[in-house]
A and B are shown apart, each in its own frame.
Chain A
Amino acid sequence: MKGPRHRLRRPGVWVGVASVLLLAGCYGNSTQKVTTTVPRTEPEAPPDPVGEAEVPRDACRQPRDPGRVSLHRLNRAEYDNTVRDLLGDTKRPARDFPADDISSAGFDNDADVLSMSPLLLEKSSAAATQVLEDAWRKGTLRSCRLDVEDPMPCARELLSRFARRAWRRPVMDSELERLLSLVTLSRQQGDGSEPGMKLALRAVLLSPHFLYRVELDPAPASPAPHRLTDLELAARLAYFLWSSTPDEPLQTLAEAGELHEPMVLEEQVRRMLADPKAQALVENFAGQWLYLRAVDAAAPDPALFPAFDESLRRAMRQETELFFREFLTSDRPLRNMLDADFTYVNDRLAAHYGLPLPGSDTPRRVSLEGHPERMGLFAHGSLLTVTSLPTRTSPVKRGVWVLEQLLCSAPPAPPPNVEGLPPPVDPSASLRQRMEQHRSDPVCAGCHHLMDPIGFGLENFDAIGRWRRTEEGSGAPVDASGTLPGGTAFEGVTGLRPLLKEDARLGECITHQLLTYALGRGLTEADTCAVADITRQAEARGGRWQDLIIAITGSEPFTHRRGEPEEDTP
């Protein structure tokens, strides 16, 4: 790949490759547009003006580019789940692997940035040895007995069965012969067949056919789109919904060539979502999209927030996980996550929120009737805590989270050397007053008039998600009013919520996020039409998560791919 690859950062039209960037170039109704131009090798397009830019209809009638996913190395979660499903091993050996890189799109399953290193291969080898040794001891792998005199028939059966599941496709005879030669090797060494069997099994788990999800193009250098094979589709589905390998029913359907049929595909998606393994979507998709994974590392100042402890941390994480899990399979439109009238709390979290105690240490589903301020995702302690600083709330972080994760309209990074708060001139000043600096400085105002108001709307929640009317430090009353860039004024979370729920960008943004995760690649300009189509289809079917998932699994980027034209230069 030569130049940087241009990623689509939000739905709507891509503004093209500009060679200059407006410094702090946020549009909107700012009257103070900064005109300094800075030469850039990589464009960072500013977000769209609110409510702008439909994709020209004609553009979407052209033949579509389904894009291509690079050879996808299993990430750590995928490796662990895969050995769990192949061998019943739940020890999560990949915890000792080096951390997976997180792409600019915000997920750790991006094939482009999942690299291989000597350390990782070494760790994979050690993990394979360990899980296979354990499985061998437990007898998981030994469905037949290796005869001392004539072990080959059984060896052949075991290896072809195991490699078929591990490689997510039937094994070729030539491959099987090569595997069996390892059994021959140990026999020649006078060790019998067992060490050779273990070598062969290890070779299966160290092979690129296991460590990578292999998808082949009939013509690797041709940009012509083609349909995935059913086996490749099965792997995409399984790693999307389960972060794991296809199970037997899925692989059987794929081998029979039936999986791509829309009815079959949809039925499989529904079956898979109902399976406990779909918890992977909660952990890996929601875990990153909703920043839930950051809850574990959140560190509110114990002096200022003594109420925050491990049990509260756990309850917060569970609340959002259970909440998301319910939406995944329920009949509620996903948009309702923003103002849902229920949540999951245990006594600890209920007390923290000022809700009636459900009388349980484990989270219970509770109605939020009579507590409008607690309705929806924005009132979740998990999200409110991870978008705060250890000592105080951060309207900027909260605003950026909403813009980036829900509206796909992330502002560019701040200009050099303006990170952090300016010196606190007056310690008794409210946070709101201190943040007025953003508006008085034209370099800051362009973007902060987008981020700050959203964060202000959530200011009634403190840095660990408790409801408050005054600020801890200054004692100033909380001012949770704000005005969105379009000029719409609101008051507090209950005023902000409907504005965001009805925001035109929300639907396509969530499609954008989930499609990115489903494909394991960053989206490009070429995916714009697919995102729009998928969103429309999902809405038409009811706008539930399952509608979105089904629309994605049937979409062109999910079911098709293409080769990659060779570049002239070496």
Chain B
Amino acid sequence: MGAYHLRQGRHDLARGYLESVIVAHEQRMNFAAVGGAWFQLADVEFRAGNRIAAESALEKALGIARDGSNVLFQCWILPLKARCAVRFGDHPTAERAVDEGFALLTSGEDWRGLPAPLHVARAMLAASQRRWRDAEADFDVALAIDRRYGCVHAEAVTLMEYARMQVARAGPDDGARAREHLDRAVKIFKGTDAVGDFDEANALLGRL
């Protein structure tokens, strides 16, 4: 429900709901749900630009997932932790989070769509370090996974971050490719009621 409110840009509603969930489940010592809510709350704070609140929530979620050896939860939390660190320029933390995440994805398992956010996070880290080829490779993998598992909104987010990288690289075709990515992202955001994402992608498009 928190994710649903967040998707529609209703940050306060999402925050209020998640906080009430945390209280209720903490009382019952139902920590799996508490961890899930902390993760979602971290996403809300991250999008609202509240670094401290986002990092705090992420640490709580990660602590619960690690204590219980919950690999799936960690694979959701670590990419967000890495993206958060990249945005605020904390590259070492981002790197550790990405590495930790990929380390969990042991070979021989059927991880389905789970690795995509890790690839996006690693791509964003690479882009911020101007390792364009590495970034490009991870963005492409993420896009492929998202498309395979029908993760449409995630695909649009990946396209927006991909475009942001292309704008930063400013290569010969990058302007046109970034516009192409953003056009598609805007279309998806619009179709999925992703109000905040839509505004962000539109703003990027306007600057091209």
> Are chains A and B native binding partners rather than an unrelated pairing?
no
Chain B residues packing against A (C-beta within 8 Å): none
